[in-house]
Amino acid sequence: MVFNPSNCIFVFRNFDFKILYAMNTLIKSATIIDPSSPFHQQKKDILIVDGIITKIEDLIPSQKDFTIVTRENLHVSCGWFDTSVSFGEPGYEERETIKNGLEVAAKSGFTAVAVNANTNPVIDNKAAVAFLTNKAQGFATKLYPIAALTKDSEGKEMAELFDMQQSGAIAFGDYKKPVVNENLMKISLLYAQNFNGLVLSFPKNQSIAGDGIANEGINSTKLGLKGIPALAEELQIASNLLILEYTGGKLHIPTISTAKSVTLIKDAKKKGLQVSCSVAAHHLVLTDDELHEFDSNYKTNPPLRTKADCKALQKGITMGVIDIITSDHNPIDIEYKKVEFSEAKNGTIGLESFFGAINSVLSISDFIENITLKPRAIFGLETTSITTGNKADISFFNPEEKYIFTKKNIFSTSKNSAFINKKMTGKVYGIFSNNQLILNS
């Protein structure tokens, strides 16, 4: 008997999903959501052979050696890319390992993630970058490192940016830490232009924010929580934009949270500055009204803001001012969350809840554009399209299924989700990427 791998499917089970390695995969009756594809908004069968899309037709007959993908109200798009994900490894494996994190990302619909440098040690040299990329080999979801902008993310001395880019880093930023030294920001933007590097600057003026732990406003006053004014974010953004106007270069401002931040970035883009920005899912959906029970899962950085800010951020997406939506997935283990609100660490996980949360407040077209084409272009990655002859890099989902998000939907090692018991609209079925088909059971 001759062993023929093209006729074999290998199935591995782990937290209620399966990975299938198959030479031929046939996706049946899928509505394609891809503005770059000639099949946009059409229901088609899609045949993938050896990881390449070979046919897209109304009906493709099934054969015995095909792996068939059929799901209720199946929709497909280019693979989703999350530009702000934190895993613990190295140093904080109790929060999340690279292996489990990438499996969670795949289950949540992501074919690529950009991983932040907030590890121990910090990802601030080429060896550390190489560790991440080597550790992530072979998974369906691709890992792209965001290296630290400064050594040890201390904001004192610029890290070896060029060397880290050569090792695989796609951008440079100190996660959740602003660049306090304006001259260092100026030098970083100037230097990165030599190799078309992307610099990230977290929008928070620490002097203004002080030791605040919640949005400064009515709720923080009622609850006796020290406030962080919107000014802390907006002042940092204004400063960075003035420096960018002086230096040139490419600047990305991650996870903005206020209405005026949208206006500031809108005005900068009108001037022709190469500035982009992202917003976290929880800032699009949740407000500081959630704080009344002092649940530390709602303690985030930036803090949850007001309903007016939520609306302005949503409008910023539809207007094209905000370029990227991210989960800002930040696992925190229970010993740092099951404490008093004032003592708890900032952060919420967001991969598993991402689609269901965002899909309830944005159109599917806005969602897809800001999680596929735009982020890949900004971070310098190859864009994909669901077209014959292209490599298959696809996310599967149902945009209409409704459910309540509970702890059983969480597969991250840490369980610090701000969306527990929230109503969701939209279910992820899985992905096809790196010649691997991953389906949720």
Which of these, 253, 250, 87, lies nearest to 165 by C-alpha position? 250
Show the tokens assigned to 284: 């699009």
* Encoded tokens for 226: 């020290």
- The identity of residue 302, as a single letter, is P
- Whether the CB-CB separation of 394 and 386 falls below 8 Å is answered with yes
Backbone dihedral region for residue 178 (phi beyond 0: left; psi -120 to 50: alpha; all else: beta): beta
Q: Are the C-beta atoms of 202 and 254 separated by less than 8 Å?
A: yes
Rounded Cα distance between 345 and 297, Å, is 9
Residue among 328, 333, 366, 393 flagged as catalytic: 328
Q: Which residues of 256-278 are buried (b: 16+ CB within 10 A; e: fewer)?
A: bbbbbbbebbeebbeeebbbbbb
> Could you give the residue ranges of the DSSP H alpha helices within 288-328?
307-318
Rounded distance between C-alpha atoms, residue 120 and residue 415, angstroms:
21
Neighbouring residues of 229: CB distance < 8 A, sequence distance ≥ 6: 208, 209, 212, 216
- Tell me how far apart the alpha carbons of residues 242 and 201 are, in angstroms, rounded to a whole number: 13
Catalytic-residue membership of 16: no
Q: Report the DSSP beta bridge partners of residue 3.
A: none
CA distances to 78, 136, 396 from 277, rounded to whole Å, are 21, 26, 26
Q: Give the active site residues.
A: 328
